[in-house]
């Protein structure tokens, strides 16, 4: 395809490089080295330190949430978020099969069982219509929540994922979840800087989880955050993720099964410096998205854009090819030329540990799985 070679040239020109161009690499252009040095000089490099508190405050200010809790990675943030809303062993959580493995693993870590439902074509995230249809067929309201008539298990949560930073249809999702008395947990791992009707993702559900992995818009090397507007849930999140230790000058007494999910001060220092640059990163990425939009306009390849009433962070930008054959050709030609691209994830139920899970027809998810490819998306 001639357009593939044109895209390779376009990407190389944008990033001004004839070397290997990764999918998404971090940019360190602020106070990263300064804050890391301050942390080392203070000797508080582990989970106690001023940058941990600063990071949590910055996340509250950026998202508008009432409470943020720093944790060691995005997966742990989701694992604890599900526990906070009451997910227990052998209960079920509705989510999407078109997602990164962490979404499903966070459910399994709570000894719960995923239900995989279809996504919407426009958002690539969990479809409220699919959730509604599933619950109308299988849902049964009882005094203590919603039950799955086909398995007898309680459906303890619904966890959509904002794919590549594109927000799902949250108003519709909230309506469906409220009707069936199912708490909504947002997997906001990929959506720092994304908004739905003026509200930051992760602040609309009861609780949410963010990721600060090395390839995210903002990175702490490894890290995550639990975000909520429920102060009491936030306090409980902090308690559980710091080993559920009762405060005492020297005694060690733990009254619950907590987790050692504390973000080290070193990582928090890096995250704080990165968050200071967030607006610039997002602006750079939006410029690139606009350039891609113009470039692909008449190419026969669809560049994925944000939908009305949302503002996407364009974390990983992507194109939609016409079929799987075109996708494979696109992937091979770009990677052979040193421009990294990658397909969207394998659907979760295709993986051996989740093959047994209940699911619907997955028409849209399977369609996207064969066509979506991520393309270089770094800030400059």
- For the chain, the structural domain boundaries read 2-28+278-346, 32-277
pLDDT at 317: 98
Q: Provide the token pair at 97.
A: 């099969």
By percentage, how much of the chain surpasses pLDDT 90?
96
Strands 92-96 and 154-158, sheet pairing = parallel
Average pLDDT value for the chain: 97
Q: Is 315 helix (H, G, I), strand (E, B) or coil?
A: coil
The beta-strand segments (E) located in 14-168 are 67-71, 92-96, 113-117, 139-142, 145-148, 154-158
pLDDT band, residue 1 (cuts 50/70/90): low
Task: Tell me the backbone φ, ψ of residue 225, rounded to 5 degrees.
Answer: -150, 135
The mean pLDDT of 349-368, rounded to a whole number, is 98
Q: What is the pLDDT of residues 94-125, one digit of tens each?
A: 999 999 999 999 999 999 999 999 999 999 99
* Residue 46 DSSP symbol: S
Question: What is the C-alpha to C-alpha distance for residues 184 and 157, in angstroms, rounded to an integer?
Answer: 6
Number of C-alpha atoms within 13 angstroms, CB side, residue 311?
Answer: 12
Q: Is the pLDDT of residue 2 over 70?
A: no
The beta-strand segments (E) located in the chain are 67-71, 92-96, 113-117, 139-142, 145-148, 154-158, 185-187, 195-196, 199-200, 207-211, 224-228, 302-303, 310-311, 317-320, 342-343, 372-375
Across 88-92, 234-238, 299-303, 353-357, least confident range: 299-303
Question: What is the C-alpha to C-alpha distance for residues 262 and 242, in angstroms, rounded to an integer?
Answer: 6
pLDDT band, residue 47 (cuts 50/70/90): confident
The mean pLDDT of 134-153, rounded to a whole number, is 97
pLDDT at 4: 87
Question: What is the C-alpha to C-alpha distance for residues 191 and 147, in angstroms, rounded to an integer?
Answer: 30
Q: Provide the token pair at 112.
A: 């719960």
CB atoms within 10 A of CB 38: 16
By percentage, how much of the chain surpasses pLDDT 70?
99
The beta-strand segments (E) located in 78-143 are 92-96, 113-117, 139-142
The mean pLDDT of 207-227, rounded to a whole number, is 97
The mean pLDDT of 5-18, rounded to a whole number, is 95
Q: Provide the token pair at 371.
A: 């066509």
Q: Is 374 helix (H, G, I), strand (E, B) or coil?
A: strand
Radius of gyration of the chain (CA): 21
The mean pLDDT of 47-76, rounded to a whole number, is 97
- Which CATH number fits the domain 32-277, given the four candidates 3.40.640.10, 3.40.50.1700, 3.40.718.10, 3.10.450.50? 3.40.640.10
């Amino acid at each position: 395809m001639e357009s593939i070679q044109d895209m390779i040239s376009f990407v190389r020109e944008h990033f001004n490089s004839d070397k290997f161009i990764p999918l998404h690499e971090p940019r360190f252009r602020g106070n990263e080295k300064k804050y890391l040095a301050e942390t080392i000089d203070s000797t508080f490099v582990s989970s106690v330190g001023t940058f941990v508190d600063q990071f949590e405050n910055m996340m509250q200010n950026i998202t508008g949430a009432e409470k943020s809790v720093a944790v060691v990675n995005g997966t742990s943030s989701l694992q604890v978020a599900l526990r906070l809303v009451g997910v227990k062993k052998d209960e079920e959580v509705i989510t999407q099969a078109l997602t990164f493995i962490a979404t499903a693993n966070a459910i399994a870590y709570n000894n719960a069982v995923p239900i995989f439902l279809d996504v919407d074509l426009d958002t690539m995230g969990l479809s409220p219509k699919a959730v509604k249809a599933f619950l109308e067929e299988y849902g049964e309201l009882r005094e203590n929540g919603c039950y799955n008539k086909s398995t007898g298990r309680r459906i303890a949560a619904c966890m959509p994922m904002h794919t590549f930073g594109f927000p799902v249809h949250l108003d519709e999702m909230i309506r469906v979840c409220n009707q069936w008395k199912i708490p909504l947990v947002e997997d906001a791992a990929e959506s720092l800087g994304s908004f739905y009707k003026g509200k930051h993702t992760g602040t609309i559900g009861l609780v949410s989880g963010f990721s600060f992995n090395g390839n995210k818009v903002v990175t702490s090397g490894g890290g995550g955050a639990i975000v909520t507007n429920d102060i009491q849930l936030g306090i409980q999140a902090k308690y559980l993720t710091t080993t559920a230790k009762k405060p005492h000058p020297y005694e060690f007494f733990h009254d619950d099964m907590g987790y050692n999910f504390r973000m080290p001060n070193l990582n928090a220092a890096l995250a704080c410096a990165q968050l200071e640059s967030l607006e610039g990163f997002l602006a750079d990425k939006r410029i690139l998205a606009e350039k891609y939009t113009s470039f692909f306009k008449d190419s026969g390849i669809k560049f994925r854009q944000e939908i009305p009433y949302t503002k996407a962070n364009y974390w990983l930008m992507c194109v939609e090819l016409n079929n799987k054959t075109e996708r494979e050709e696109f992937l091979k030609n770009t990677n052979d030329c040193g421009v990294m691209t990658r397909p969207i994830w394998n659907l979760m139920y295709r993986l051996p540990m989740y093959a047994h899970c209940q699911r619907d027809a997955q028409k849209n998810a399977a369609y996207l799985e064969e066509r979506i490819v991520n393309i270089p998306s770094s800030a400059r």
